[in-house]
């Protein structure tokens, strides 16, 4: 469990007792999302539960000060909560609140996404690939992932950089493209590293290529990461075979290892693309007190949510929404806009934990051809 330092004095016992009494008197055992607020109003923690009352009372039973619950209560002066129709609805709302408020203790205690890595392609001239743990900053063109094994992904990215001549230096390394004549007078003659000299980088920092030439390589890397082009692997395979024919077995083995790293990356793409494409369906979730909801999930993201129709007009509106969400043709491949990553991870983990829930899902076409019956209309 990560260590979390207290930002303020621990909440006095009488206030903790007041919070407990408030929960006992008012909370009900139904799905919802709760917020722990410090005395100055800062939201320090957001959580969800399918039984709000039971979950909140458990915070006051933590025996050891190091327990996660005890540490959260020590920082909180107020507890607020809202009910939601189902655990799934609460899960989505929890994610939205965490993204909006970035509560300190959620960030400090978060560990579920740590074993994932993403490949980030930065924006701007002389884009570069970075291996990151999650969406970060706003300098990304696109993210690819998630992948398991940050170390192996980093090695594969290194091979890709070498194979296509992309830079891997610091983001703030000044670039001097060959087609920037106004800068010619101040061109550095040597790069900040030897990669250009050993032909592993086009050398955009020393006028080794034009901006368009570098961008062409960036497009090749995107094609590879999209699964549309095998160029880097084919080149390595050809180099390996040539080295082998020249009886340079050590060199051939080195090419073979590089090739394997790229093949593994490619294999992960295929699995991931499959997962994204699989997470595209209409998902109906029974709700508390009959508040059933329909979630329109496409490519791993909830595109729309609708209460189960109770009138013919509602029903028509729902069918229109289904058509709006699923009919437009969308990009395929492993590209994930950064704002969609957390939701994609959340949905994959939900359906992995509860595979039976897939039994409530329907392909959009099937849903449209066999839409839900409106209770009042069918009773008439
Ligand atoms: S040669 Fe220049 S652009 Fe390429 S990695 Fe080295 S410093 Fe970066």
Model pLDDT for residues 300-317, shown as the tens digit of each residue: 889 999 999 989 999 999
Q: Whose CA is nearest to atom 5 of ligand 1?
A: 167
Q: Which atom of ligand 1 is nearest to the CA of 169?
A: 8
Question: What separation in Å is there between the alpha carbon of 329 and the centre of ligand 1?
Answer: 39
Rounded distance between C-alpha atoms, residue 204 and residue 206, angstroms: 6
Model pLDDT for residues 221-236, shown as the tens digit of each residue: 888 887 788 888 888 8
pLDDT number for residue 1? 40
Q: Which atom of ligand 1 is nearest to the CA of 206?
A: 2
Question: What separation in Å is there between the alpha carbon of 173 and the centre of ligand 1?
Answer: 8
Asked if pLDDT for residue 5 goes beyond 80, the answer is no
Question: What separation in Å is there between the alpha carbon of 336 and the centre of ligand 1?
Answer: 27
Rounded distance between C-alpha atoms, residue 59 and residue 56, angstroms: 5
Bigger pLDDT: 120 or 188?
A: 120
Domain boundaries, the chain: 13-109, 116-276, 279-379
pLDDT number for residue 34? 97
pLDDT number for residue 126? 92
Q: Is the beta carbon of 127 within 6 A of some atom in ligand 1?
A: no
Q: What is the mean pLDDT of residues 163-179?
A: 89
Question: What separation in Å is there between the alpha carbon of 208 and the centre of ligand 1?
Answer: 10
pLDDT number for residue 139? 74
Asked if pLDDT for residue 322 goes beyond 80, the answer is yes
Out of 3.40.50.2300, 3.40.50.10210, 3.40.600.10, 3.40.1440.10, select the CATH number for domain 13-109: 3.40.1440.10
Q: Is the beta carbon of 342 within 6 A of some atom in ligand 1?
A: no
Torsion-angle region of residue 23: left (phi > 0), alpha (psi -120 to 50) or beta? alpha
pLDDT number for residue 44? 93
Q: What is the mean pLDDT of residues 169-186?
A: 78
Asked if pLDDT for residue 127 goes beyond 90, the answer is yes
Question: What separation in Å is there between the alpha carbon of 159 and the centre of ligand 1?
Answer: 15
In this structure, the number of other CB atoms found within 10 A of the CB of residue 379 comes to 7
Q: Is the beta carbon of 192 within 6 A of some atom in ligand 1?
A: yes
Bigger pLDDT: 110 or 308?
A: 308
Ligand 1: which of 128, 130, 167 to mutate, judged by most atoms within 8 Å of the beta carbon?
A: 167
Question: What separation in Å is there between the alpha carbon of 125 and the centre of ligand 1?
Answer: 13
At residue 163 the predicted structure's pLDDT band, cuts being 50, 70 and 90, is confident
Q: Is the beta carbon of 193 within 6 A of some atom in ligand 1?
A: yes
Q: Can the peptide bond before residue 146 be classed as cis, meaning omega within 30 degrees of 0?
A: yes
pLDDT number for residue 187? 63
Q: Whose CA is nearest to atom 7 of ligand 1?
A: 192
Of the listed ranges 6-15, 67-76, 171-180, 203-212, the one predicted with least confidence: 6-15
50: tokens are: 């399918």
Q: Which atom of ligand 1 is nearest to the CA of 126?
A: 3
Q: Is the beta carbon of 195 within 6 A of some atom in ligand 1?
A: yes
Asked if pLDDT for residue 352 goes beyond 90, the answer is no
26-35, 169-178, 199-208: which has the highest mean pLDDT? 26-35
Q: What is the mean pLDDT of residues 113-126?
A: 79
Rounded distance between C-alpha atoms, residue 210 and residue 212, angstroms: 5
Ligand 1: which of 164, 196, 202 to mutate, judged by most atoms within 8 Å of the beta carbon?
A: 196
31-35, 167-171, 189-193, 216-220: which has the highest mean pLDDT? 31-35
48: tokens are: 């969800």
Ligand 1: which of 127, 171, 201, 214 to mutate, judged by most atoms within 8 Å of the beta carbon?
A: 201
**Mean pLDDT over the full length of the chain:** 85
Percent of the chain scoring above 90 in pLDDT: 46
pLDDT number for residue 337? 61
pLDDT number for residue 69? 84
pTM: 0.67
Task: Lay out the sheet containing 335-336: strands in order across.
Answer: 129-132, 116-122, 140-148, 335-336
Helix axes 341-353, 87-101, angle to 10 degrees: 150
At residue 42 the predicted structure's pLDDT band, cuts being 50, 70 and 90, is very high
Q: Is the beta carbon of 158 within 6 A of some atom in ligand 1?
A: no
φ, ψ of residue 30 to 5 degrees: the values are -145, 165
Rounded distance between C-alpha atoms, residue 95 and residue 345, angstroms: 11
Of the listed ranges 10-19, 247-256, 325-334, 343-352, the one predicted with least confidence: 325-334
Model pLDDT for residues 46-77, shown as the tens digit of each residue: 999 999 999 999 999 877 777 888 889 888 99
φ, ψ of residue 372 to 5 degrees: the values are -65, 150
């Amino acid at each position: 469990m990560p260590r979390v330092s207290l930002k303020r004095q621990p909440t006095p016992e009488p206030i903790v007792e007041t919070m407990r009494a408030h929960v006992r008197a008012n909370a009900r055992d139904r799905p919802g999302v709760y917020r722990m607020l410090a005395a100055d109003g800062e939201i320090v923690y957001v959580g969800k539960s399918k039984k709000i009352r039971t979950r909140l009372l458990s915070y006051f039973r933590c025996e050891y000060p190091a327990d996660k619950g005890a540490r959260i209560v020590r920082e909180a002066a107020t507890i607020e909560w809202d009910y939601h129709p189902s655990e799934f609805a609460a899960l989505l709302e929890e994610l939205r609140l965490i993204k909006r408020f970035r509560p300190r203790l959620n960030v400090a205690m978060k560990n579920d996404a740590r074993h994932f890595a993403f490949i980030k392609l930065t924006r701007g001239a002389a884009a570069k690939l970075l291996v990151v743990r999650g969406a970060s900053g706003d300098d990304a063109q696109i993210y690819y992932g998630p992948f398991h094994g940050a170390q192996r992904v980093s090695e594969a990215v290194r091979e890709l950089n070498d194979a296509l001549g992309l830079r891997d230096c610091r983001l703030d390394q000044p670039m001097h493209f060959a087609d920037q004549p106004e800068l010619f007078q101040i061109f550095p003659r040597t790069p900040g590293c030897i990669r250009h000299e050993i032909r592993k980088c086009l050398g955009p920092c020393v006028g080794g290529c034009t901006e368009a030439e570098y961008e062409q390589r960036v497009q090749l890397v995107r094609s590879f990461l999209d699964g549309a082009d095998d160029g880097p692997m084919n080149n390595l395979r050809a180099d390996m075979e040539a080295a082998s024919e020249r009886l340079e077995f050590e060199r051939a083995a080195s090419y073979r290892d590089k090739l394997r790293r790229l093949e593994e990356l490619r294999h992960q793409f295929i699995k991931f693309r499959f997962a994204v494409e699989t997470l595209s369906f209409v998902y109906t979730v029974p709700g508390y007190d009959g508040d059933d909801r329909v979630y329109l999930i496409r490519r791993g993201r909830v595109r729309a949510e609708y209460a189960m129709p109770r009138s013919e007009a509602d029903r028509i509106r729902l069918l229109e929404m289904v058509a709006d969400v699923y009919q437009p043709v969308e990009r395929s491949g492993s590209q994930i806009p950064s704002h969609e990553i957390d939701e994609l991870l959340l949905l994959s983990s939900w359906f992995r934990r509860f595979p039976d829930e897939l039994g409530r899902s329907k392909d959009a076409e099937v849903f449209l051809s066999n839409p839900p019956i409106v209770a009042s209309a069918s009773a008439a």
